[in-house]
């Protein structure tokens, strides 16, 4: 990547990052309070599901949309459900639009091959996406409905005050921190918003706090450019490579893609025979693959930043949504490699370490020589 020293944007000497402290168990409360929370969660989850369906089918996601459905929850709880559902629906709509764009590109390639007389594959088909179904209880609440109160003269560190279905009858759940949580939150100002999750009949609390990290990189320190790619997740202007999608990750992606194709063919055959209950199109192996790819990217970014401690980082800000290849296989690799996660992880990792990181446009950055920085198309033959 070409190093850009001219017209460097002026940045503040401090950066704000948000950290989360999760897996705080709410198991010290009596059964009556937990029963009230369970009752509240069932109503909240049903309401949130209604708004997710509404924002996916009838209206555009809007966190400030007026209430539509009748519910025993208060207006403040409805606002929390609307905000959470709008975020879920917006993510679903964005991913669906990207998938439909890929389908349109594949259909255009198919018609081009038909005109040339080489229809080597069947015509691509579009399978409509199903509306997200909320199966696990997750409440992303603000201070209007869930407040964290300090405990004085008690064995518990905090009390969690939660508004219930009964007006003016909130419940207070004790929050007891472990040594790890106590150390992580020592001297921190906890944010007002909290997240409640219920897994395996147990309630868990997640708290967040903002941390100010001073930029320790001197403006006169050398600059290293980072290029993002599939063959190598990170390629620095010094010629070093970190992480790759090729090899084991590529083989796992091929196996998962073939598995999904077989499932799609099986669903089509069963649908023709009139079978009502069709097998799911989701793949647990695909979800594990995505998590493993994210972990590989995080490891590559951490190793790169560790090797360039003290440098000024200039990284490529990719627009993955607009990237397309002619070959369908390469498009599948592009979607599976999760390139959009790399710039975000670079920015987060640099901010956490107090390093100066500046995003630049990706145009011609992959064609710059790592030695003399001359830009030429021949510098990238493949």
Give the whole-angstrom CA distance, residue 141 versus residue 74.
13
Sheet holding 14-25, edge to edge: 14-25, 202-214, 194-199, 137-141
* C-alpha distances out from residue 370 to 152, 241, 374, 375, 381, Å: 60, 12, 8, 10, 15
190 with 226, same domain? no
Residue 358 sits in the same domain as residue 272: yes
- Mark which of 214, 229, 245 sits at the end of a domain: 214
Please state the three-class secondary structure of 131-200 as a single string.
Answer: CCCCCCEEEEECCCCEEEEECCCCCCCEEEEECCCCCCCCEEEEECCCHHHHHHCCCCCECCCEEEEEEC
End-to-end CA distance of the chain: 16
Residue 65 confidence (pLDDT):
95
d(CA 279, CA 263): 8
Q: How far apart are CA 112 and CA 123, in angstroms?
A: 11
pTM of the model: 0.68
Question: Could you give the 3-state DSSP secondary structure of residue 152?
Answer: coil
The per-residue pLDDT for 370 is 60
pLDDT given at position 10 = 39
113 HSE (CA, 13 A, CB side): 15
Tokens matching residue 141: 């609440």
pLDDT band at 13 (very low <50, low <70, confident <90, very high): low
Q: How far apart are CA 279 and CA 97, in angstroms?
A: 24
Q: What is the pLDDT of residue 5?
A: 38
Q: 323: Cβ–Cβ under 8 A, 6 or more apart, which residues?
A: 334, 339
φ/ψ of 275, rounded to 5, equals -70, 130
Contact present, 211 and 10 (Cβ < 8 Å): no
Which pLDDT belongs to residue 280? 62
> How many domains does the chain divide into?
2
Count the helices and strands in the chain (H runs, E runs): 7, 12
**String of DSSP letters for 224-282:** EEEEE-SSSSEEETTS-EE--STTHHHHHHHHHHHHHHHHHHHHHHHHHTT-SSPPPS-
Cα(26)–Cα(148) distance, integer angstroms: 13
Residues of the domain holding 231: 217-379
Q: 2 in a domain, yes or no?
A: no
Answer whether residue 5 is part of any domain.
no
**94 and 157 assigned to the same domain:** yes
Round the average pLDDT of the chain to a whole number and report it. 82
Pair type for strands 158-162 and 146-150: antiparallel
From residue 29, how far is each of 105, 136, 325 by CA, in Å?
A: 55, 21, 56
Q: Whole-angstrom Cα distance, residue 208 to residue 192?
A: 8
Whether 8 has a pLDDT exceeding 60, the answer reads: no
Bridge partners of 225? 314
* Mean pLDDT within 247-266: 76
- Rounded-to-integer distance, Cα 15 and Cα 215, Å: 7
- For residue 5, how far is the Cα from the chain centroid? 32
> Among 183, 214, 245, which residue terminates a domain?
214
Asked if the structure places residue 9 within a domain, the reply is no
pLDDT at residue 11, as a whole number: 44
Which pair of tokens denotes residue 198?
């219920």
On whether both 192 and 256 belong to a single domain, the answer is: no
Residue 266 sits in the same domain as residue 196: no
Q: Which residue has the higher pLDDT, 18 or 140?
A: 140
Residue 175 or 258, more confident: 175
Structure tokens at 298: 């995080």
- Find where tokens 């695909």 sit: 286
331 pLDDT band, cuts 50/70/90, is low
Tokens of residue 164, six digits: 């219930």
Q: In sequence order, what are the beta bridge partners of 361? A: 317
Show the tokens assigned to 149.
């109160």
What angle, 0 to 180 degrees and rounded to 10, lies between the N-to-C axes of helices 328-337 and 248-272?
110
368 plus 266 within the same structural domain: yes
Q: Does the pLDDT of residue 70 top 80, yes or no? A: yes
Q: Give yes or no: residues 221 and 356 share one domain.
A: yes
pLDDT per position as a tens digit, 26-37: 977 788 899 999
195 and 239, same domain (yes or no): no
Between CA 380 and CA 56 the distance in angstroms is 42
The kind and range of the H/E element at 207 are strand 202-214
pLDDT at residue 324 greater than cutoff 70: no
Considering the domain architecture, whether residues 182 and 221 belong to the same structural domain is answered as no
pLDDT at 286 (0 to 100): 67
Least confident of 53-57, 160-164, 219-223, 261-265: 261-265
**Torsional class of 242: left (φ above 0), alpha (ψ -120 to 50), beta (otherwise):** beta
Last residue of a domain, one of 160, 182, 214: 214
């Amino acid at each position: 990547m070409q190093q850009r020293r001219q017209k460097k944007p002026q940045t503040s000497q401090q950066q704000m990052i948000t950290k989360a402290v999760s897996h705080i168990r709410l198991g010290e409360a009596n059964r009556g309070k937990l029963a009230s929370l369970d009752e509240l969660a069932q109503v909240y989850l049903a309401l949130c599901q209604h708004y997710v369906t509404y924002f996916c089918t009838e209206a555009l996601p809007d966190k400030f949309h007026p209430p539509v459905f009748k519910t025993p929850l208060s207006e403040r709880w409805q606002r929390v459900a609307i905000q959470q559902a709008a975020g879920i629906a917006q993510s679903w709509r964005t991913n669906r639009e990207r998938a439909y764009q890929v389908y349109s590109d594949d259909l255009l390639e198919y018609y081009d091959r038909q005109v040339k007389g080489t229809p080597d594959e069947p015509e691509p088909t579009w399978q409509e996406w199903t509306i997200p179904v909320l199966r696990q209880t997750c409440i992303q609440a603000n201070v209007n409905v869930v407040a964290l109160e300090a405990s004085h003269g008690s064995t518990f560190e905090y009390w969690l005050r939660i508004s219930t279905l009964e007006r003016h009858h909130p419940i207070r759940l004790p929050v007891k921190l472990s040594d790890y949580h106590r150390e992580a939150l020592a001297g921190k100002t906890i944010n007002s918003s909290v997240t409640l999750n219920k897994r395996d009949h147990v309630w868990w609390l997640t708290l967040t706090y903002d941390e100010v990290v001073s930029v320790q990189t001197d403006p006169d320190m050398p600059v290293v450019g980072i290029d993002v790619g599939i063959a190598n997740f990170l390629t620095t202007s010094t010629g070093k490579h970190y992480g790759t999608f090729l090899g084991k990750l590529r083989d796992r992606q091929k196996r998962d893609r073939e598995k999904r194709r077989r499932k799609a063919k099986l669903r089509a055959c069963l649908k023709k025979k009139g079978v009502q209950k069709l097998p799911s199109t989701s793949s647990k192996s695909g979800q594990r693959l995505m998590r493993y790819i994210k972990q590989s990217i995080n490891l590559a970014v951490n190793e790169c930043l560790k090797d360039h401690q003290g440098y000024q980082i200039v990284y490529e800000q990719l627009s993955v949504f607009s990237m397309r290849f002619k070959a369908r296989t390469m498009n599948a690799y592009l979607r599976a490699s999760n390139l959009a996660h790399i710039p975000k992880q670079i920015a987060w990792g640099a901010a956490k370490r107090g390093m100066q990181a500046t995003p630049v446009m990706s145009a011609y950055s992959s064609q710059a020589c790592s030695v003399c920085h001359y830009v030429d198309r021949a510098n990238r033959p493949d």
